[in-house]
Amino acid sequence: MVPFQLNLLTYAALLQQAQQQTSRILQNYTIDARPDAPSAPPQSSRREEQQQSRSEEESQSSRRQEESRPPRRQPYRRCGFSLEAPKFPAQVDRSQQGKHPILRYAIPGSPLCYTFHHLRTNSTYEVYRCTGCRGMGTNTMIAVGVTVKMKMYININVKAINNIYSHFSDGERFLQFQTPDLHMYYSTTTIEKAQRFGLYALVADGVHDLQPDATAKCGQLYTVHGVCNDTMDAPLLYAITTTKNERTYELIFAQLKEELQRSGRLDRLRVVLDFERASIGAARKVFPFASVEGCGFHLAVAWNRKKDALGIRKYLRRRFVNRDKSVWMWWNVIKGIMFLPPALHRRVPSLYRPDLPRNHEAYQKCEEFLRYLKSTWYEGPFKGMWNKWGIKDTRTTNAAEAFHRKLGTLLECKYPLMSRLLEELKSCNTNAKGDFLNMERRPTDGRRLRRRDLRRREKILKMMAAYRSRFERRNTIRTSTNQIMKYCRKMATFVTSKTN
């Protein structure tokens, strides 16, 4: 019985202790619950307050950073595309580096197209940009569907563009000929006035960075100018082409010839071109009775390039140590040969062999240049079209090249938009009409040349007139070889040394 009693006593003591502890806990809880007593929040509420304070500090710091940063760009507005718009298949070309393709979309019924090059690669797509829009600082939005042939969806009305820019403000037609590969623009009134004021020379040249960007790699803007009585030159025809073959030039010259024949006869017409075989062949077919001549400037540039390629330049320049006077004198005779009468070319020893010793280091190079001169310019495709003896003016295609430089200044960019180009061409035609009106009022007014160009022309004419009496005698044997070579060296000062 004793162990049981002991256990009961122990249990009673423990129970009493438990009751005392519970009473103490209840007493403490009632004291803490009073309003005047400070409250001690539990551990979980403290953590929440710490997190809240941290979030407030982070938000304040982020606000400060955003205030210090520049304002963000507004997101680009995404334009929607109508899949019912005309579809244009893409021609995929290889870029210069060969990494990304170039997309060209030809517009039906027009020689133009859109050309897009790779701009950047995003996370989910690639961005291409129109090269013409890049020059203008704008963007052309397109949607490209990745199919067997990539297609572009764009809303464009070719007929509306033609109706706007195919006529002048007075109703006269400006767009006279149109094919997918060729557009020709001209005014019949301007051509009639050129014939009335004594048109005697045509100057034609092409430029490869002023045509619309759509005209592929071989496209160009080809212009034909008319020279009237040595008083003025005016643009007569503008052609936008995608090809540069002989057939294209035949269409251009044939269209111009038809308009010229309606206004009058073509007597003693001169056609001055650069040395492009396709244009030369077309001009000879369309104008069989005209004098087809080459540009003197392009001739000198071709000779200078060949001279530099053979390594003769170092014997001619003063700043080079290897400068040789004998090579310099031989080269000046060759340069001035274009102003010598063709009948006297056989009297020039420098055309048969260099005026150098055979053991000279430049002898083989000069001999190679003479072989090039004979095969290309005396017996090749340019035979008989580069001599400038007796020609008073229009020896080069400077009239067309100066017009192209002026047009490029007006456009302020390369590969302009079609609308911008046609606007400038129409204004140039209006200026040409104004020049003809001034000629009607003041017939004595001539072309205003720069002072140095005027002096250069006067010196050339004076030099040819001084030797004319000697060179045009019936018995040319009396003219010594030294006189011929001296004349060539003097005329060489009027030939450029440029290579481009």
pLDDT tens track of the chain, all 500 residues? 333 333 444 555 555 666 676 666 656 544 444 444 444 445 555 667 777 777 777 777 777 776 666 655 544 444 444 445 556 667 777 777 777 888 877 766 566 677 888 888 876 667 888 877 776 677 766 666 544 344 444 333 333 345 678 888 888 999 999 888 889 999 999 999 999 888 999 999 999 888 876 565 568 999 999 998 776 889 999 999 988 899 999 999 999 999 999 888 888 899 999 999 999 999 999 999 999 999 999 999 999 999 999 999 988 877 666 788 899 999 999 999 999 999 899 999 999 999 899 999 999 999 999 999 999 999 988 998 999 998 988 899 999 999 999 999 988 888 888 888 888 999 999 999 888 888 887 765 556 677 888 888 889 999 998 888 778 765 555 678 888 999 999 999 999 999 88
| Residue among 368, 371, 372, 340 at smallest CA distance from 468 | 340
Q: Has residue 436 been placed in a domain? A: yes
Q: Has residue 340 been placed in a domain? A: yes
Beta strands 291-294 and 270-273: pairing type? parallel
**Neighbour count for residue 493 (Cβ, 10 Å):** 13
Q: Which DSSP symbol is given to 123?
A: S
pLDDT for 247 equals: 93
E strands within 2-161? 87-94, 101-106, 113-121, 126-130, 143-145, 151-153
Domain count, the chain: 3
Q: Please, are residues 261 and 385 in contact by the beta-carbon 8 Å criterion?
A: no
Q: Has residue 49 been placed in a domain? A: no
3-state secondary structure of 185: strand
Q: Has residue 14 been placed in a domain? A: no
**Residue 345 shares a structural domain with residue 465:** yes
Last residue of a domain, one of 125, 153, 181: 153
User: Any bridge partners for residue 483, and if so which?
Assistant: none
**Residue 226 shares a structural domain with residue 241:** yes
Q: Has residue 82 been placed in a domain? A: no
Q: Has residue 117 been placed in a domain? A: yes
Last residue of a domain, one of 423, 440, 457: 440
Structure tokens at 426: 């129409």
**Residue 323 shares a structural domain with residue 282:** no
Q: Please, are residues 337 and 330 in contact by the beta-carbon 8 Å criterion?
A: no
Q: Please, are residues 227 and 199 in contact by the beta-carbon 8 Å criterion?
A: yes
**Residue 266 shares a structural domain with residue 191:** yes
pLDDT for 88 equals: 63
**Residue 149 shares a structural domain with residue 273:** no
Residues 6+ apart with CB under 8 A from 162: 175, 178
Residues 6+ apart with CB under 8 A from 300: 335, 338, 495, 496, 497, 498
Last residue of a domain, one of 131, 153, 175: 153
Q: Has residue 281 been placed in a domain? A: yes
pLDDT for 163 equals: 66
Structure tokens at 313: 């330049």
**Residue 195 shares a structural domain with residue 343:** no
**Residue 121 shares a structural domain with residue 171:** no
**Residue 320 shares a structural domain with residue 400:** no
Structure tokens at 345: 């070319």
Domain of 379 in residue numbering reads as: 300-392+449-494
**Residue 304 shares a structural domain with residue 290:** no
**Residue 325 shares a structural domain with residue 424:** no
**Residue 125 shares a structural domain with residue 195:** no
Q: Has residue 431 been placed in a domain? A: yes
pLDDT for 439 equals: 82
**Residue 283 shares a structural domain with residue 351:** no
Residues 6+ apart with CB under 8 A from 439: 197, 228, 231, 232, 445
Q: Give per-residue burial for 222-238: e unless 16+ CB within 10 Å, then b.
A: bbbbbbbeeebbbbbbb
Read off the pTM: 0.66
